[in-house]
Amino acid sequence: MLSKNQIKLIKSLGQKKYRQQLGLFIVEGIKGINEFLNSDFELETLYTTKSIFDVPANRILEISEVDLKKISTLKNPNTALAVFKMPKQQDPSGIGLIIALDAIRDPGNLGTIIRLCDWYGVKDLVCSLNTVDCYNTKVIQATMGSLTRVNVSYLNLETYLESSITEVFGAFMNGENIYTTDLPNEGIVILGNEANGISNVIESKVKRKVTIPQFGNTKSTESLNVANATAIVLSEFRRQSIGK
């Protein structure tokens, strides 16, 4: 049976300040937990209603469905909840294609972008300091385990871009047509805030602006969802890299 202190600690991890203070975060569901167990992330404690995980006995606690509902962030909890330790942040490698995010606020968008980076073989994702926390429970759910394979760094984006020797691209409403632009195998691609796009400060660091052309006759759609735009941008960069 869970103690009140255990429940309080786990519930507190729903807030960024407590995740950062304690250096812990939550993963829920069998698939997601197994992804993290099979990675370099260190398990703190696993709470489960079924004995189906291969972890040390001192790191697992079998609980009831009632207790799982008390600590879960989901409407329909799925078998288990695990608490993992946050690793020390690693600097981006500076190699290959890198995605940079300027003030992305929606957890679902960030989680989807992390998953897209994993799919398209992008190892480094650089986030501005005001981008949503990648250990947010909704982000973790949306990544479907991809956070274990993508290095996410939170940096002063302006300083990072100034120090980079790699070509910097930015996704804008007006720019070079991404489908007719010769794209390199390496570079930094910036995508901006859901409502305001790339900020003026970061825009000044962009060397080449690219845009995804709109084909609809009415032209009434204001913009693409940032995660959808990321998928298109990554797909075109990777398509052009074939054979280079």
pLDDT tens for residues 70-108? 999 999 999 999 999 999 999 999 999 999 999 999 999
Query: What pLDDT score was predicted for residue 244?
Result: 67
Contact 92, 151 (CB under 8 A): yes
Give the DSSP H or E segment for 80: strand 80-85
Contact 198, 102 (CB under 8 A): yes
Is the pTM of the predicted complex or chain greater than 0.85? yes
Tokens 């859901």, residue located? 194
Query: What pLDDT score was predicted for residue 218?
Result: 66
Query: What does the pLDDT average to over 158-187?
Result: 96
Main-chain phi, psi angles of 33, to 5 degrees:
-60, -45
* pLDDT value at 219 more than 90: no
Query: What does the pLDDT average to over 223-240?
Result: 96
Every domain of the chain and the residues it spans = 4-85, 97-241
Beta-sheet pairing, 97-102 with 187-192: parallel
Q: Which fold has domain 4-85?
A: 60s Ribosomal Protein L30; Chain: A; (3.30.1330)
Domain 97-241 has CATH 3.40.50.300: no
* pLDDT value at 220 more than 90: no
Span 187-214, pLDDT tens digits: 999 999 999 999 999 999 999 999 999 9
